[in-house]
Amino acid sequence: MSDRHILSLGCLGLVLLFVASLFIGAGDLSFRTIANGEMDGEALRLLLVSRLPRTVAAMLAGASLAVAGLLMQMLSSNRFVEPSTIGTTEAAGLGMVVVTLLAPGALIFVKALVAAGFAIAGTAVFLILIRRLRLKSGLLVPLVGLVLAGIIQAAAHFVAYRADLLQSLGAWSSGDFSMVLQGRYELLWIGAMLGSVALIAADRFTLAGLGRDVSVNLGLAYERVVALGLVIVSAIAAVTVATIGSIPFVGLVVPNLVTMTMGDNGRRIVPFVALWGAILVLGCDVLGRLLRYPYEIPVSVIMGVAGSALFLMLLARRRTAHG
């Protein structure tokens, strides 16, 4: 099957999921009501104000988080990192706590901006650390990331505890689409738009993944490309945290699945990474609404379970297949 075929099949799958997502949930809205033209104002409102935004949010978040994961892997030349395991997401959470403490009434856009600033700082610390320590590959890089993430997380908890914001921090650090409403998720579009820069600059990011020396030899402004990637990854993490909360594993599992089968050439794989990311997150959200109907399980929980299982599987396959 050619790339194009797979891509169209994937899109079809996403459309089906999209439709399913519109009609699944605790509220009263079935496909039949619409088909029979019996849609009343209440149902229409539910569709437009809640279900549609929720569905779109899941797709946008999934696609951009997966692309952010891929970028992070290219920037650190390591397959086992993603924003939520190296401190980017945690730093965004800390940023939210701090800005909420200092300016509780600020617009969500402003808060996300502050969170992005914190995320950039956290990610920069990670990248500088791995370069200073000359960690190039292997599992040491993600371990350093986990330690850093843990430290930032602890700082966020400390501040949140002091400021009585633990509940909010909980919401930021565990993703959940049930609170998504029209007017509260649109920031995610910014993340998706930044993610599409990854497609435009795909060659440059792919080269960066080959390491600094190869990049510099080929005349790539390596530091600038890394800085651009850093900003994109951090902004995606920040808008996700600010709107729905962090979702683990998407950025790890999806890029690994795709690169394993299709390789590392960004220009070829970025669309696939975005597509599978959208499908995975939307799928998990739909599943979360079905499992204990009419109650919901947050997407971060479903993803935590599904993602860690998938990831362990991938790790085993990668080890045996590619040393």
Partner 1 sequence: MIEASALTKLYGDSRVVDRVSLTLDQPGVTAIIGPNGAGKSTLLSMIARLLPIDKGRAFIDGLDVTRTKGSELARRIAVLKQENGLLARLTVRDLIGFGRFPHSRGRLTAADRAKVDEAISFLDLTPLSDRFLDELSGGQRQRAFVAMVLAQDTPAILLDEPLNNLDIRHAVAMMRLVRKAADDLGKIIVVVLHDINFASCYADRIIAMQEGRIVVDGPAAAVVTEETVEAVFGLPVMVREIEGQRTCLFRR
Residues found near partner 1 in the complex (CB under 8 A): 73-74, 77-79, 136-137, 203-204, 206-207, 209-214, 216-221, 259-260, 263-265, 322-323
Q: Report the residue number, 85 or 259, with the smaller CB distance to partner 1.
A: 259
What is the SS3 assignment for the chain? CCHHHHHHHHHHHHHHHHHHHHHCCCCCCCHHHHHCCCCCHHHHHHHHHHHHHHHHHHHHHHHHHHHHHHHHHHHHCCCCCCHHHHCHHHHHHHHHHHHHHHCCCCCHHHHHHHHHHHHHHHHHHHHHHHHHCCCCCCCHHHHHHHHHHHHHHHHHHHHHHHCCCHHHHHHHHCCCCCCCCCCCCCHHHHHHHHHHHHHHCHHHHHHHHCCHHHHHHCCCCHHHHHHHHHHHHHHHHHHHHHHCCCCCCHHHHHHHHHHHHHCCCHHHHHHHHHHHHHHHHHHHHHHHHHHCCCCCCCHHHHHHHHHHHHHHHHHHHHHHHHC
Instruction: Return the biggest CA–CA distance within the chain.
Output: 65
Give the nearest distance from C-beta 217 to partner 1 in angstroms.
5
Nearest 5°: phi and psi at 221? -80, 80
- Of 131, 96, 76, the closest CA to residue 237 belongs to 96
Residue 277 token pair: 């990311």
How many Cβ atoms are within 10 Å of 11's Cβ, its own excluded? 14
Q: Report the residue number, 42 or 203, with the smaller CB distance to partner 1.
A: 203
Give the nearest distance from C-beta 28 to partner 1 in angstroms.
49
Q: Report the residue number, 78 or 243, with the smaller CB distance to partner 1.
A: 78
Give the nearest distance from C-beta 265 to partner 1 in angstroms.
5
Give the nearest distance from C-beta 130 to partner 1 in angstroms.
12
CB 171 within 8 A of CB 245: yes
Q: Report the residue number, 30 or 137, with the smaller CB distance to partner 1.
A: 137
Q: Report the residue number, 184 or 212, with the smaller CB distance to partner 1.
A: 212
Give the nearest distance from C-beta 210 to partner 1 in angstroms.
5
Give the nearest distance from C-beta 81 to partner 1 in angstroms.
11
Give the nearest distance from C-beta 264 to partner 1 in angstroms.
4
Give the nearest distance from C-beta 141 to partner 1 in angstroms.
11
Q: Report the residue number, 91 or 207, with the smaller CB distance to partner 1.
A: 207
Q: Report the residue number, 79 or 157, with the smaller CB distance to partner 1.
A: 79
Q: Report the residue number, 136 or 162, with the smaller CB distance to partner 1.
A: 136
Q: Report the residue number, 4 or 322, with the smaller CB distance to partner 1.
A: 322
Give the nearest distance from C-beta 258 to partner 1 in angstroms.
10
CB 208 within 8 A of CB 128: no
